[in-house]
Amino acid sequence: MSSALTLGLDADDTLWENQARFDFAQEKLRNLLSRWADGEVVDETLLDIERNNVKRYGYGVKSFTLSSIQAAIELTQGEVNADLTRSIIENGWWIIEHPVEILSGVVETLDVLSKSYELLLITKGDPTDQYKKISSSGLSHYFKGIEVVREKDSKTYEEVLQRHKVNVEEFIMVGNSVPSDILPVLTIGGRAIHVPHHSTWKHEHIDESEIKDFIFSVAASFDQLPDILMTY
């Protein structure tokens, strides 16, 4: 174990539940639209609209809400009314107001890790929502730096490391998303540990062939990190 190492930690679905909030809200959307379309059709329509809106809106709750309203317009063939629209807006508020649920083992493990490593929180998403979650999580004090970034690509990681004066050879990223937390870090010469989450955002499913040339550790759970890092 070397104290010169810096760990980057993803937040959503690595430190706390995130996808579950959206899944639950999407389940509510399916119910709201059940008169007009099957659940799977609602899911597919919403996903198409969200993908189309990412450039326009970025990620997060506001995008989800606006895309949900568009899905309702499309799927009800114009029958969407004020009550339904209001319910969709309130569904977004539900996500925003939902308390942060820290994943099992995270607090104890951060307690251990923060004694041996510099920790950076590196998270993507709507900043209003992200900072609210970081603040109410009570975990901020474990981190030397907090970065809410727009895209988790190689360029962004290079900028973050430069800002914090961290050499990429001494950087290990930890997160649940292979395309966001693992591959871009490996690409620039860093290391990464994958901590899969039980649910994964559909936009992030990737082809096995894309990862076959990369080597990274996989932790079955967050609390295995100290042991895995002993071998680095």
Under the rule (CB under 8 A), what is the footprint of a second copy?
56-58, 62-63, 65-66, 69-70, 73, 76, 78-83, 85-86, 89, 92-93, 96, 126-128, 131, 150, 163
Shortest Å, Cβ 118 to a second copy: 17
Do the beta carbons of residue 125 and residue 103 sit within 8 Å? Answer: no
Neighbours of 213 (CB within 10 A): 8
Shortest Å, Cβ 133 to a second copy: 13
Q: Which residue has the tokens 């292979």?
A: 178
Would you state the torsion angle of the CA atoms of residues 189, 195, 199, 203, taken in this order, to the nearest 10 degrees?
0
Nearer to a second copy, 131 or 216 (CB): 131
Token pair listed for 42: 């609602």
Shortest Å, Cβ 78 to a second copy: 4
Neighbours of 89 (CB within 10 A): 14
Shortest Å, Cβ 84 to a second copy: 10
Shortest Å, Cβ 160 to a second copy: 12
Shortest Å, Cβ 10 to a second copy: 18
Side-chain-facing half-sphere of 11: CA atoms under 13 Å: 30
Taking the chain, what is the end-to-end CA distance rounded to the nearest angstrom? 7
Nearer to a second copy, 116 or 156 (CB): 156
Q: Which helix H or strand E contains 89, and what residues bound it?
A: helix 82-97
Nearer to a second copy, 68 or 217 (CB): 68
CA distances (Å), 70 to each of 75, 77, 78, 80, 201, in order?
A: 9, 11, 10, 10, 20
Nearer to a second copy, 79 or 101 (CB): 79
Nearer to a second copy, 70 or 217 (CB): 70
Nearer to a second copy, 70 or 177 (CB): 70
